[in-house]
Amino acid sequence: MTRSHDPGECEMTLLVQAEFDGELDAAQAAALATHRADCPICQAAAESLGRVRQALREQAPYHRAPDSLRARLTAQAAPRRVTLVRTAGWRRAAAAFVAGGAIAASVMLALVPSGAPGLSDQVLAGHLRALEPGHLEDVISTDQHTVKPWFDGKLDFAPPVKDLKADGFPLEGGRLDYLDGRRVAAMVYGRAKHVIDLYAWPDAGADTAPTVLERDGYTLVRWRQDGMALWAVSDVERDQLVDFARRWRAMP
């Protein structure tokens, strides 16, 4: 019984399909109609096309972008606009970068003092997302000699990978993340059962002392050191994260 629905072969079937997809003009459609009146294969093909379309619409979901993804990409784009405005008064060497174009724009981002709006939210969002199952580390490691080479070739900079095991913050792994539209390094540290994410990306500004922010029960500490912007984020106690930042900075 099912075999009788097989459209079989006719050289015109691709045209039947084209008409079905609204790709034929009126003259072509008229010519096809003449042929189809006498061709059972093409008649069956047209029916089959309709059945498949209906079945797909009923059973194959159209996956809309999750709100979290939309929010992340919007946040990613938004600070850039602010940055471009701010660059007007920025120092000369940096201004040369602004010559135009998106790459320059994203480079500028890193030069803006880390107060760029939305960045702390992005850091926190990245941290929370990483805590979802299977997302925490792309490379699992016991020391920096595994993590450091793993970043090679995945980033256009060499992130400062340090192990603070002796200080009670063992390095557990690393992964790539996105902040402000660029790839950044994320180093994952453990503290008892808690996770500390440390984000790093190049930032040409002078070194700064750590600043502490709080967001929804999470603590963020940011500073700049040796040409890198660094953001630590975790749900450990505030004092512990500050201690982590202090030790990390002090380590050569």
Partner 1 sequence: MGRSDGGRDFESLVLPHLDAAYNLARWLMRDPVAAEDVVQEAAVRALTYFASFRGDNARGWFLQIVRNAAYASMKLDRGLRTVPLASGGDADAAAPEPADPADDPEHTLVKTQAHAGLDRLLAGLPVELRETIVLRELQELAYKDIAQITEVPIGTVMSRLWRARRLLAAAAQHEAVP
Q: Which residues bind partner 1 (CB under 8 A)?
A: 2, 5-7, 13-14, 17-18, 21-23, 48-49, 51-53, 55-66, 69-70, 72-74, 76-78, 80-81, 100-103, 106, 132-138, 140, 178, 181-183
- Select 64 or 92, whichever has its Cβ closest to partner 1: 64
- Select 76 or 219, whichever has its Cβ closest to partner 1: 76
- Select 69 or 251, whichever has its Cβ closest to partner 1: 69
Q: Which residues are bridge partners to 212 per DSSP?
A: 221
- Select 47 or 207, whichever has its Cβ closest to partner 1: 47
Give least dist CB 78 to partner 1, A: 8
d(CA 92, CA 204): 13
Give least dist CB 120 to partner 1, A: 19
- Select 60 or 166, whichever has its Cβ closest to partner 1: 60
Give least dist CB 163 to partner 1, A: 19
Give least dist CB 202 to partner 1, A: 16
Give least dist CB 244 to partner 1, A: 24
Closest CA to 163 of 145, 146, 148, 144: 144
